[in-house]
Structure 1
Amino acid sequence: MDIPQLRAQLDQVDRDLVRLAAERQRIVAEIGASKRGSGRPLRDFRREKEVLDNVRGHAREAGIDPELAAGLMQLLIAASLTRQEQDTVRALSQGGGKRALVIGGSGRMGAWFARFLDAQGYAVEVADPVANSAGFHQRERWDEGELSHDLIVVATPLRPAARILGALAVHKPPGIVFDLGSIKTPLRESLQALNAAGVRATSIHPMFGPSANVLAGRHVVLIDSGDREALETARSLFSSTTAITVEMDLDEHDRVIALVLGLSHALNIAFVAALAGSGVDAERLKAVSSTTFGAQLGIAEAVARENPHLYFEIQSLNEHNGPALTALDEAVHTLLAAVRNGDEASFVALMQQGRDYLHERAE
């Protein structure tokens, strides 16, 4: 057969693959409905491993790369989890008959949360001077109307969030109030003012970005600021998902975030800045990319596309960031000194220190 005939066959195979993927999604939806009826959890890690092992076996029998087949199946599993999670959130309708106000709901994370609450059945209103793309009812200023909502979510940058939370303590809304801030110490006084005013308030930190479609394996940090009812209400918003909730106090959160966000962001910002100053074209580097460089570049590119003003807040407003950045500075200087001085022992010791730390973590 000539090339056009072969391509026609290939097109038919592609159509069959898409049709079979759609059929798989249909079965997945039925499984999800059955799980909801029986109270079973959405995610079954043992079943996922079984599916991947089976697919690798089928691939060997078919004479194709088992890891290629497993990679394709992992994409389908992720799509299945997304479908089941979204269906479950809608089916349970925890917010049926309730109202939510998302302050800053036209921003990326605010818009994500507005859609998330809408999927749960909440009647969502957005307070933001920028028009929201989802068509939710909107007011330009949060304080220009009544505040009798069941939930008030503050999804603004940290400095305005502190002012808004403090002002809400004066307004004393009857519903649950919480913020989505990446750093909590700048909000301490405002959260204390809310509690002192008798407002049911807490604080949460979704450890994912606005592009997240499925929450499987994602973490949501819940901050205990003195009101258990508010905290449990915030936790319940994620009960119909596969997200993992982690509870901690405000200071522990910011100490941990100094490493989880502050250190990792700083490392990738410095990495991209070093590349930009190298004088070598980025596409040329990609053309000879190693496995390590490719993985690091992928992470760094994602960081570079984020909001630099938000990332500056994460670095500058966290009072626990100093030790983390100092440790990074010391590690870089130790590495440079070892290389420049030909000190192999120091270089090996630095790598061994990291290896020992990760080994202890794994155990």
Structure 2
Amino acid sequence: MAARRRGRGRTGKAVAGAAIALAAAAAVAAALGVDLRSFLDQPEAEATTETPATAEVVRQTLTETVAVAGDLGYGDALDMACLLNGTLTGLPAAGDVLERGDVLYSVDDAPVVLLYGSLPAYRTLAVGAEGADVKQLEKNLSKLGYDGFTVDDEFTDATADAVEQWQDHLGVEETGRVDLGRVVFTPAAIRVDTVEPQLGSAAQPGAAAFTYTGLDKVVTVEVELDDQELVVVGDPVAITLPDGTEATGTVTASETAVTEETGQGGETEDVTYLDVTVAADDAAVFDALDQASVDVGFSGESAPDVLTVPVEALLGLAEGGYGVELVDGDTTEVVAVETGLFADGYVEVSGEGLEAGQAVVVPS
């Protein structure tokens, strides 16, 4: 109603301005000896009635989307822990991508090598060793092009021969065994995130040589515990990029985290939240972006098999509540409706005589 009052105010000013302009034009015309009536004495245009824009009452399932702002990056960085004593004589650079067989860093001028696997190195491997870690090592040797042994869980003399060939290519002593700390297993290739130690720093067990992430860009989102029911690992989500591009994604991880926040009075308190990781179904949608703020839409409340109309079709009734204007041929009728869930520009409605397929007026 206020908007319409503002509209009438603008119209009144326009009419007054037009009257002043018309009087001025008449004066000019009189001075020039021109009969202004000849220009104004035109037949009036016939009034027309515009057909109102309509939308259909649709029966569908509405699902609320809860949007949460997230950060695009490479996910949480992990420590590349060192298991050796000595001096750091070689380090990678931030942003380097390291793959199977690449040197991660060097201690006492001997390399620590990246291999693929889910089981962390926990012992020296030599002839006679048996176990899943032996098989994991042999798989890597085979992928790197070494052969002459059977990929199984037994470290044999043939395995030792392959290890010696590998050590020869690395330029280290050919011992035929793999000492603890000289290989690191990760599930896949990694990206170096930060490198804090300097060359010449002391290497010691438990210290981090650098931090690293995976290669794929992901979105990390902090979700309040009150909304934790929205987050289900494996569920689909909607991703909106800074330029408005929309993509689909999947929740890949969720864990509880605690952060310390400072209030206005300077007091600090621990706040618990969910640290959620989301991957795009098509990783290429992130190719043109480095770090950015991205919205993630989680599926919230759902209303199955309900009548819906566009939100714009709702009318505020003088007696309170909402109504819609139904179209029946050349006539319209305003009927009261009860509203339910709002989602994706639609609203759940119910009311006497309301059926799917009917037309309702919406503002043009």
Bin of the TM-score, shorter chain as denominator length:
under 0.3
User: Which structure is larger by alpha-carbon Rg, 1 or 2?
Assistant: 2
- TM-score, with structure 2 as normaliser: 0.21
Greater relative contact order structure (CA < 8 Å, 6+ sep) = 2
Q: Which has the higher strand share?
A: 2
Between Structure 1 and Structure 2, which shows a larger proportion of helix residues?
1
